[in-house]
Amino acid sequence: MILESLLAGAVQSGTSVLLTVCGETVSERAGVINLGTEGCMAVGALFAYIVCAETGQPFLAIPVACIAGGLMGLLHAYFVISRKANQLATGLTLMFLGLGLTAFLGRNYVSVSTEGFTKLRIPFLADIPIIGDALFDQDPITYLSYLICAGMCLLLYKTRFGLILRATGEDENVVYAYGADPIRMRYLSVIMGGMLSALGGAQLSIAYTHTWIEGMTGSRGVIGVALVCIAAWNPAKAFIGAYIFGAAQALQMILQQQGLEISSFLLMMIPYVLVLIALFAASIKKNGKMPAELKKVFEAV
Amino acid sequence: MGSDKKELIPILETVGLTKKFGDFTANSDICLKLYENSIHALCGENGAGKSTLMKMLYGVYKPTSGKILIDGKETEITPQKAMECGIGMVFQDFRLIPAFTALENIMLALPKSETHRKKSEIKKKIAELSEKYGIPVDPDRYVWEMDLGQRQRVEIVKVLMMHNTRILIFDEPTSVLTYNEVKAFIEMIQKLRENGYSIVLITHKLNEVMSCADEISVLRHGVITDNFKREDGFDKNTIVSRMMGEDTAHRVMNYREAKKHFDYDNAPDCLVCRELSLIDDHGRCIIGGINLTVKQGEILGVAGISGRGQKELVETLFGLRISLSGTTEYMGTNITKAGIHRRIDAGMALISEDPKRDNVVPGMSIYEHMVLAGAPIRTKGLGIDWNIIKEELNNSKLVHTLGVPDINRNLATLSGGNIQRTVLARAIIKAPKLLLASYPSRGLDIGTVDIVHKTLIELKKHGSAIILISEDLDELFDMSDRLCVIADNKIYGDFIPDETTPIEIGEIMLGGVKNDSERNDIVKAAG
């Protein structure tokens, strides 16, 4: 019983991170690191919530959140690609901008309640023992995240677009020499990354917690950036890190519900400690899979 | 390939092609004609403007003036347009992504019209091409796993995969190849010619070109000085003198003369290694039991296929690495455990096998590099007096003879050959007592190699010891007083160049010495 609720919690809580990891992977594969994912998530979470609260239409909230996140991505892209600003500095600034902006714009929605998405049980599949509930008794955005994850793998590894995108992250000169436009590829992928992060944020506000509160993303966006390395820049592995993080979140809640006499602050640290352990484990494998153009970002600091 | 070719319209022609970079004219009034089914070689020293010309043909650079004709029609070339016209370029620094497989790299290069093809179809085509031209390529292997020769083959297959390719341009193709690979490469381009391709070969290695080219054009200081045609016969000496300019060509090197002055038996020891064992980056013993003596005023040549411990040897002697066991004596003192600094102070200098990686700080100017390690520091008050240093460097004979570029230039903007010159000048300017020189003439043209050799011999005459690491047996035989060979985790030798042959040394390089008795004989002979 506890295992099942842990797994269900892992998926529920991990979906927002999964989407962020997917988005950030695409962006980093093209050679741009966006530390502003946290800001994109916050923007997505707020705008989805506003649309939901005002119209009661959660399906309308999804495109709005994506557009808002995409605009955040565009802002990052403009600065780091067209203006050649430092990627790390721009990303951090974008993160605080997003957090501040949403705190301001969302101040009147903190006490507003809205239904948003509810769980949608998929018949038969949800009856699979142990994992059935966890995977197939979830909200629609979570189902969407499965499709997006799979879709990203297809896009990156099975299409010419993906080939060029990955090549852009490795050596932009080569891409240019073959008549493709690396700048366009980077813009597209950073915007796509922003949109996916925002969708993750939307899941958090309108499908998972059904509340809006400032800073509700709780550093999931930043963790997402770290988890991209654990996934070795492969969207197919994005779920590993995301669900570990989700499971830790769920575990913390279960422990609290069990009434354990542990400080909630300590429990809240569990996910981050786990991510550190996972990063350590990933570093032992020494997978030098980091896109070459991305290395330049760090070497240039 | 008879004389009737002359009536044909050239497949590619340049008329008065000129390229200027600011005040500098890289190419001036270039007129070239490339005919179908022919190999046209373009020879010239480093910096003669070969690469600039090729980049204009491929549309990377836009010519300042002049025009390019394809099939007799004037065409404005961009990389895209070049591909459409059937021009394929095999760059010197391959345009390959190391993190991708050969197949992925090839797919990336395919034009849009062919992107619908299935992977299996592309693989089949790769296999066909590999078979036809004898260029084996494993499509599923990652490029980072491949050596330079294999990478070049991927690059060639990539260009051939484009169905409309008619013209192939090779930029210094043989500089990355081993001796055997060069032979295979020449056979391949001859096969390509038979199959209707036209080939432009840019190179400064004449021997290879003379065996296969139909026409040789000599480029010097950005101008085509001569055209030689196969039917008129190629004369190596003439071509060399045209490439290098008359004055340089007539300076004939007398290596023997330099060796005669050296009295091996009475020269004092400079460096003595006893039972020295070296470890590589993975902690394995890469060469064991080294017993070496280098005398003052001696050049000791070290032959061997690259990557067999040459780097570890010089780095250990220089103190960059710690030896596994054994002792090193330098000028009579035990320096086995001495740090790099002590060794530099005692007069050691190193030219590493990849100066760009190990010896150079991109972003700093040449004169700053000189001071960083080498040139004496002049101070004014508390600070360095850069003006005096610059003046001294500008007046230095060595800097001029080696052809170091303008000393204000940034290292990041220099070509490989110029970096090599800079590093050489820096190592020699402080008159080291022991010079560890790895591949000092790599990437340099004939004229400069000649100067490098002269400079090294000059250094030797002043009593410096030189350990010369090279793959080029001609260089080793010319320069060395004694030779040893790295093979099979050991150092064989030493040999006296006059008493052995390149063939014998080559065999040891490839397989070590076959059996124990033979090995003992050699050790004894060296004894």
Q: Which CATH architecture has domain B3-246?
A: 3-Layer(aba) Sandwich (3.40)
* Best CA proximity match to A266, nearest among A275, A256, A258, A257: A256
pLDDT band (50, 70, 90) for residue B5: very low
**How confident is the model at residue B419, as a pLDDT?**
85
* Percent share of chain B, pLDDT over 90: 23
- Domain segments of chain B as ranges: 3-246, 255-347+432-526, 360-429
Residues 6+ apart with CB under 8 A from B3: B231
**How confident is the model at residue B513, as a pLDDT?**
62
The answer to whether B106 and B139 are in contact (CB under 8 A) is yes
Element (H, E) at B523: helix B516-526
pLDDT band (50, 70, 90) for residue B523: very low
B103 touches chain A (CB under 8 A): no
The answer to whether B468 and B497 are in contact (CB under 8 A) is no
Gap between the terminal Cα atoms of chain A? 49
The answer to whether B56 and B77 are in contact (CB under 8 A) is yes
Q: Where on the phi/psi map is residue B35: left (φ > 0), alpha (ψ -120 to 50), or beta?
A: beta
* Best CA proximity match to B50, nearest among B194, B177, B170, B186: B170
Q: How far is it, in rounded angstroms, from Cα B447 to Cα B47?
A: 12
* Best CA proximity match to B167, nearest among B128, B201, B133: B201
- Where are the alpha helices (H) located in chain A, listed in sequence order? 2-29, 37-55, 58-77, 87-105, 131-136, 140-158, 160-170, 172-177, 182-202, 220-230, 238-257, 264-285, 292-299
- Smallest Cβ–Cβ distance between A292 and the set B99, B108, B111 belongs to B99
Nearest CA in chain A to B58: A177
How many angstroms from the chain centroid is the CA of residue B232? 30
Residues of A in Cβ contact (< 8 Å) with B80: 179
Question: For chain B, how many residues are written?
Answer: 527
Tens digit of each residue's pLDDT (9 = 90 or more) over B136-157: 899 999 988 787 788 889 999 9
The answer to whether B446 and B45 are in contact (CB under 8 A) is yes
Residues 6+ apart with CB under 8 A from B521: none
Neighbours of B291 (CB within 10 A): 16
Contact A163 B108 (CB under 8 A): yes
Residues of B in Cβ contact (< 8 Å) with A233: none
Tens digit of each residue's pLDDT (9 = 90 or more) over B487-515: 878 898 888 888 888 777 877 876 666 54
Torsion of CA A232, A234, A236, A242, to 10 degrees: 60
* Residue A103 tokens, joined: 């705190």
B142 touches chain A (CB under 8 A): no
HSE-CB for A179 with a 13 A CA cutoff: 15
The answer to whether A42 and A230 are in contact (CB under 8 A) is no
Residue B72 has pLDDT above 70, yes or no: yes
- Smallest Cβ–Cβ distance between A177 and the set B79, B98, B99 belongs to B79
Q: Which residue has the higher pLDDT, B176 or B360?
A: B360
Tell me the fold of A2-299: ABC transporter involved in vitamin B12 uptake, BtuC (1.10.3470)
How many angstroms from the chain centroid is the CA of residue B252? 22
B3-246 matches B255-347+432-526 in fold:
yes
Q: How far is it, in rounded angstroms, from Cα B488 to Cα B510?
A: 9
Cis bond upstream, residue B280 (ω within 30)? no
Show the 3-state SS of B158-195: HHHHCCCCCEEEEECHHHHCCHHHHHHHHHHHHHHHHC
B97 touches chain A (CB under 8 A): yes
Cβ density class A60-79: b for 16+ within 10 Å, e for less: ebbbbbbbbbbbbbebbbeb
Residues 6+ apart with CB under 8 A from B238: B228
**How confident is the model at residue A8, as a pLDDT?**
92
* Residue B218 tokens, joined: 């000599």
pLDDT band (50, 70, 90) for residue B2: very low
Residues of A in Cβ contact (< 8 Å) with B79: 177, 179
A292 touches chain B (CB under 8 A): yes
Amino acid at B217: S
B104 touches chain A (CB under 8 A): yes
Q: Which residue has the higher pLDDT, B351 or B445?
A: B351
The answer to whether A244 and A218 are in contact (CB under 8 A) is no
**How far apart, in Å, are the Cα atoms of B502 and each of B260, B440, B472, B507?**
21, 20, 10, 8
Residue B519 has pLDDT above 50, yes or no: no
Which B residues 194-213 touch A at CB under 8 Å? none
Residues of B in Cβ contact (< 8 Å) with A286: none
**Residue B400 three-state SS:** helix
- Smallest Cβ–Cβ distance between B97 and the set A160, A174, A179 belongs to A174
How large is the ipTM? 0.82
Amino acid at B484: C
Using a 10 angstrom Cβ sphere, with 0-12 exposed, 13-18 middle and 19 or more buried, the burial of residue A258 is exposed
Q: How far is it, in rounded angstroms, from Cα B301 to Cα B476?
A: 6
A291 touches chain B (CB under 8 A): yes
The answer to whether A73 and A138 are in contact (CB under 8 A) is no
* Percent share of chain A, pLDDT over 90: 60
Amino acid at A166: R
Residues of B in Cβ contact (< 8 Å) with A167: 97, 100, 108
Most confident range, picked from A77-86, B48-57, B76-85: A77-86
Residues of B in Cβ contact (< 8 Å) with A295: none
pLDDT band (50, 70, 90) for residue B388: confident
Looking at the complex, report in whole angstroms how far the Cα of residue A261 sits from the nearest Cα belonging to chain B.
50
Q: How far is it, in rounded angstroms, from Cα A289 to Cα B322?
A: 31
Contact A163 B107 (CB under 8 A): yes
Neighbours of B42 (CB within 10 A): 28
Element (H, E) at B422: helix B416-429
**Residue B14 three-state SS:** strand
B98 touches chain A (CB under 8 A): yes
Residues of B in Cβ contact (< 8 Å) with A173: 95
B388 touches chain A (CB under 8 A): no
Neighbours of B292 (CB within 10 A): 20
* Residue A237 tokens, joined: 């592995």
Element (H, E) at B288: strand B285-295
The answer to whether B85 and A275 are in contact (CB under 8 A) is no
DSSP string, B106-149: HHHHS-GGGTTS-HHHHHHHHHHHHHHHT----TTSBGGGS-HH
B362 touches chain A (CB under 8 A): no
**How confident is the model at residue A162, as a pLDDT?**
93
Residue B167 has pLDDT above 60, yes or no: yes
How many angstroms from the chain centroid is the CA of residue B42? 17
Residue A46 has pLDDT above 80, yes or no: yes
Amino acid at B398: L
Q: How far is it, in rounded angstroms, from Cα B250 to Cα B268?
A: 36
Q: How far is it, in rounded angstroms, from Cα B518 to Cα B501?
A: 17
A160 touches chain B (CB under 8 A): yes
Tell me the fold of B255-347+432-526: Rossmann fold (3.40.50)
Average pLDDT over residues B29-51: 86
